[in-house]
């Protein structure tokens, strides 16, 4: 685009760059580009003797249509498109038609090494980072790369395959978080705080060095050579600029490259030598305790900070000398922001609490603008952004810096009660704006009418969910040993991990373990099952000698399974069993248990009659795909027992064919209705002869499922909120004026106009 002077009406302030501020749009673009994309550093001279190469591994697997469909489903539909103008929503809605065309294109690109030039071109939009004090500095702007969606699909497929290969062969260290399944920012923060508190318990001090590593990764020259982008700000679009550092920002492969590049750096310190390195993408944290940090090996240092951790009782008496690494001196800081959380030298989290309050106030003001009394959005519409945007913003990493509130001796509250009261005022501000209430309306009344949890229960719920998630970590997770130790208690300086585990009173040994790379139920190919109407018609028309219908029930009376066997059109056998209380077992496990019960009825029927084929109908697609090994989610122990029963039934009568089919629920099929009725009776306590129930189900005591435990806690918090409201003065007054009416109904009956 033609170069022109910077306009006085430009929304982008003048950038401060030596030797003088840029006066033209082209000079401003080049200044932003030099800051966001530094030039490659000079390469060191080649070694005379190359390092020993590790043994070779298998090549990346070939891309399948299921890989393409899964990556497209994971994309956000309404993100800005690249230069071709095709947004992701087009690929998401038309993937059933496009996957057959994309697969040969991607396979040919990988096989022949052809990468179209149009896929290497992008547009980088320069946006202001919110909350920066000075926008005259180029680093106060965030470059957003807009790539062609079709190239992002291919890169996502390759990144997923490369990530799975790295996990399979343990290329990445255990303490490398981010970009990996089930390794979140809060996991990294919990590990760092646990190490610091353990050092304090042994009367030592800890030192943490925070690094922000900038990496330049070489990939296939075919993809990375010749990439270019155009900077766009205000009404100006620059000429194409070459990307010398190898890869576009925003490319799905960037995360994998950071992980592989930083892996050797993370492996240097060892916990046995009082040193530990925790990494999250490009954020590296070295922690050492007992002595000062001396040895270091790093690449380019962009942001470097150092904190000397000590308990608040002895912190003021300690001297914190500067840390010198070669020719660089780092002055210890009182606090540092790591992964969005402000960590201070005594771990009292006061600055982080103030940061969370500022976030809450910001979003409360935004909701006040959104829900104006005269022309604002209705209650139901304005409530959604508060629940989905505002609450996750100020409750981020709550399980790290917040102590759950509970009542101790003498009904005195313990924990972060004062901070919860401050946040309650912010929630009341948002609730008044959404409801249009008066300033004199009590806070509890606002929460009740908007159907919100009181703030102390809301913050406790976030900690409870985090504790359950951490308690269910598998043995291979880097926090597993720390969780086991903290669940036993006894720490003098309690880390946040121990506080939330003891508050929820969970035992890691009671929870079901999930694999990191399990196949999600949401990624099932649609061709596994027929249309609902076709499946119902086939169930009506099925005239096999033996039909068995299985169903499960979860109600207030409990969780139960039932099966009804039809022989030649007549109901011959029926059985059922109550598995436990509500929320004690996942409904998916209950559906699998119902199919096991149906298969056992086929075994019982085979004792007196020769059976050639059996059709077992279930109304749960998820249970069927788990049994057929298309997905994971049900209990592995239950699935193994289920397969054992199926093998025994197939061997009966000299060989019996068993067909597992889907019958839509509540479709009027007689067998399905009978099974549903039987399950309701079983949940109420109806018992059957022992020979009709598998021995495994009679003694089935499943491990606690994290999802069911979270659901139980959600119900418990809702009951606690209702009790809290009923015992308050505002609740008592409301009940006397409107007996038998819940204030939350006002939100349910408020419809958008």
Per-residue pLDDT reduced to its tens digit, 353-383 = 999 998 888 888 888 888 877 777 888 888 8
More confident residue, 326 or 520: 326
% of the chain at pLDDT higher than 90: 3
More confident residue, 432 or 668: 432
For 683-700, how does the pLDDT look when each residue is reduced to its tens digit (9 = 90+)? 777 777 777 888 888 777
State the pLDDT confidence band at 298, using cuts at 50, 70 and 90. Answer: very low
The per-residue DSSP string of 220-250 comes to -HHHHTT-EEEEEETTEEPPPEE-TTSS-TT
User: Averaged over 315-321, what is the pLDDT?
Assistant: 72
State the pLDDT confidence band at 571, using cuts at 50, 70 and 90. Answer: confident
Q: Where is mean pLDDT largest: 207-211, 465-469, 543-547?
A: 465-469
- pLDDT at residue number 238: 65
- pLDDT at residue number 39: 52
Task: State the helix-helix crossing angle for 706-726 and 729-737, rounded to 10 degrees.
Answer: 70
Domain 521-702 CATH assignment equals 3.40.50.11750 = no
Distance of CA 236 to the CA centre of its chain: 38
For 81-104, how does the pLDDT look when each residue is reduced to its tens digit (9 = 90+)? 888 888 888 888 888 888 888 888
Rounded to two decimals, the pTM is: 0.74
Q: Where is mean pLDDT largest: 39-43, 170-174, 291-295, 310-314?
A: 170-174
Of 4-13, 22-31, 146-155, 628-637, the poorest mean pLDDT is in 4-13
8 Å CB contact between 228 and 243: yes
State the pLDDT confidence band at 49, using cuts at 50, 70 and 90. Answer: low
Strand-pair category, 236-237 with 228-233: antiparallel
Count of residues in the chain: 753
What does the mean pLDDT of the chain come to? 77
**Any residues with CB less than 8 A from the CB of 575 and at least 6 apart, and which?**
562, 563, 597, 600, 601, 688, 692, 693
The per-residue DSSP string of 391-420 comes to HHHHTTTHHHH-PPPEE-GGG-EESSHHHH
In this predicted structure, the answer to whether residue 679 has a pLDDT above a threshold of 70 is yes
Q: Where is mean pLDDT largest: 541-555, 632-646, 728-742?
A: 728-742
Structure tokens at 449: 């009418």
Collapsed DSSP state (helix, strand, coil) of residue 374: coil
In this predicted structure, the answer to whether residue 388 has a pLDDT above a threshold of 80 is yes
Strand-pair category, 275-280 with 176-177: parallel
Quickly count: other Cβ atoms within 10 Å of residue 300's Cβ: 12
For 250-264, how does the pLDDT look when each residue is reduced to its tens digit (9 = 90+)? 677 777 877 887 787
DSSP-assigned letter for residue 500: H
Domain boundaries, the chain: 350-510, 521-702
Radius of gyration of the chain (CA): 30
Q: Give the span between the Cα atoms of 122 and 146, in whole angstroms.
A: 6
- pLDDT at residue number 461: 93
At residue 664, what are phi and psi to the nearest 5 degrees?
A: -55, 140
Helices (H), 472-573: 480-488, 496-504, 532-541
Identify which of 402, 400, 630, 380 has the alpha carbon closest to the alpha carbon of residue 525: 630
Identify which of 558, 565, 588 has the alpha carbon closest to the alpha carbon of residue 707: 588
């Amino acid at each position: 685009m033609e170069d022109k002077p910077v306009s006085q009406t430009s929304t982008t302030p003048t950038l401060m760059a030596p030797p003088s501020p840029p006066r033209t749009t082209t000079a401003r673009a080049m200044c932003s580009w030099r800051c966001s994309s530094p030039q490659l550093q000079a390469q060191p001279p080649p070694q005379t003797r190359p390092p020993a190469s590790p043994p070779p591994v298998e090549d990346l697997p070939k891309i399948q249509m299921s890989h393409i469909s899964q990556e497209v489903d994971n994309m956000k539909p309404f993100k800005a498109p690249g230069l071709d103008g095709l947004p992701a929503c087009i690929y998401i809605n038309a993937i059933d038609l496009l996957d057959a065309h994309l697969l040969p294109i991607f396979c040919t690109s990988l096989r022949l090494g052809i990468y179209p030039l149009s896929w290497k071109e992008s547009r980088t939009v320069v946006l202001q980072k919110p909350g920066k004090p000075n926008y005259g500095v180029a680093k106060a702007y965030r470059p957003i790369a807009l790539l062609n969606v079709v190239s992002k699909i291919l890169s996502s497929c390759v990144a997923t395959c490369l990530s799975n290969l790295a996990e399979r062969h343990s290329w990445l260290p255990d303490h490398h978080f981010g970009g990996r399944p089930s390794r979140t920012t809060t996991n990294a923060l919990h590990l760092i705080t646990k190490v610091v508190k353990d050092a304090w318990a042994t009367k030592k001090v800890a030192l943490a060095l925070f690094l922000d590593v900038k990496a330049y990764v070489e990939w296939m020259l075919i993809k990375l050579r010749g990439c270019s982008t155009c900077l766009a700000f205000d009404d100006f679009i620059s000429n194409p600029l070459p990307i010398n550092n190898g890869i576009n920002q925003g490319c799905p492969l960037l995360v994998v490259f950071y992980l592989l590049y930083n892996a050797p750096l993370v492996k240097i310190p060892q916990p046995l030598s009082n040193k530990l390195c925790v990494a999250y993408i490009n954020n590296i944290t070295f922690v050492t305790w007992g002595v000062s940090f001396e040895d270091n090996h790093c690449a380019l240092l962009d942001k470097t900070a150092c904190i000397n951790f000590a308990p608040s009782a002895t912190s003021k008496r300690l001297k914190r000398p500067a840390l010198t690494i070669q020719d660089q001196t780092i002055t210890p800081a009182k606090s540092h922001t790591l992964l969005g959380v402000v960590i201070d030298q005594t771990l009292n989290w006061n600055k982080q609490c103030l940061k969370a309050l500022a976030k809450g106030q910001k979003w409360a003001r935004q909701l006040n603008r959104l829900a104006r009394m005269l022309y604002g959005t209705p209650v139901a519409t304005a409530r959604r952004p508060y629940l989905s945007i505002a609450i996750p913003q100020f409750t981020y990493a709550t399980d790290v810096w917040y102590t759950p509130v509970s009542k101790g001796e003498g009904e005195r509250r313990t924990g972060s009660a004062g901070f919860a009261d401050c946040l309650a005022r912010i929630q009341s501000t948002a609730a008044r704006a959404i409801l249009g209430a008066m300033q004199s309306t009590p806070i509890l009344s606002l929460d009740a009418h908007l159907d919100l949890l009181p703030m102390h229960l809301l913050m406790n719920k976030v900690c409870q969910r985090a504790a359950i998630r951490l308690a269910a970590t598998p043995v291979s997770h880097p926090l597993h040993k720390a969780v086991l130790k903290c669940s036993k208690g006894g720490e003098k300086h309690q880390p946040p991990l121990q506080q939330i585990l003891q508050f929820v009173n969970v035992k890691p040994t009671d929870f079901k373990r999930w694999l990191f790379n399990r196949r999600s139920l949401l990624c099932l190919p649609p061709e596994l099952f027929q249309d609902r109407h076709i499946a119902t018609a086939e169930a009506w028309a099925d005239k096999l000698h033996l039909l068995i219908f299985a169903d499960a029930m979860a109600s207030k009376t409990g969780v139960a399974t039932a099966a009804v066997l039809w022989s030649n059109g007549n109901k011959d056998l029926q059985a059922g069993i109550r598995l436990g209380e509500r929320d004690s077992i996942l409904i998916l496990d209950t559906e699998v248990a119902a199919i096991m019960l149906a298969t056992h009825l086929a075994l019982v029927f085979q004792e007196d009659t020769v059976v050639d084929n059996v059709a077992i109908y279930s109304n749960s697609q998820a249970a069927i795909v788990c049994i057929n090994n298309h997905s994971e989610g049900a209990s592995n122990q239950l699935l193994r027992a289920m397969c054992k029963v199926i093998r025994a039934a197939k061997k009966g009568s000299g060989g019996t064919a068993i067909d597992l089919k889907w019958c839509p629920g509540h479709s009027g099929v007689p067998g399905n209705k009978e099974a549903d009725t039987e399950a309701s009776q079983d949940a109420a306590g109806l018992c059957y002869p022992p020979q009709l129930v598998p021995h495994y189900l009679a003694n089935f005591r499943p491990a606690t499922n994290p999802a069911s435990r979270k659901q139980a806690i959600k119900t418990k918090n809702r009951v606690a909120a209702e009790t809290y409201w009923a015992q308050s003065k505002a609740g008592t007054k409301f009940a006397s004026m409107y007996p038998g009416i819940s204030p939350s109904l006002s939100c349910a009956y408020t419809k958008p106009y």
